[in-house]
Amino acid sequence: MRKIVYIEWVDALSEDNWYSEEDIDEWLKNGEESCRSIGWVVKENKKYIVIASLIGKEDTDSVSLLMKIPKPLIKKIKIIKL
């Protein structure tokens, strides 16, 4: 049976405006974007964890809506018991 996890992680950011050096510093101060995800663990190693939002009936190998999260970006991870 696959485990279900709750993950808090920091997302990468991008911006499409033109900035001065001072504006960049201000943008960086507000730049950390915290995300939260819940899903079934389908793969995990030292570098990343892969979760799926959907799995097939009876915990089959069919999965969908995959998300690969690099381990260094994870702030918190908790196993969810059903």
Per-residue pLDDT of the chain (82 residues; tens, 9 = 90+): 789 999 999 988 777 888 888 888 888 877 677 899 999 999 999 999 999 999 887 766 788 999 999 999 999 999 999 8
Q: Give domain status of residue 50, yes or no.
A: yes
Give the amino acid at 36. R
The confidence score (pLDDT) of residue 7 equals 96
Q: What's residue 20's pLDDT?
A: 87
pLDDT of residue 74: 95
Residue 35 domain boundaries:
4-13+24-80
Query: How high is the pLDDT of residue 36?
Result: 94
Domain count along the chain: 1
CB of 78 closer than 8 Å to CB of 9: no
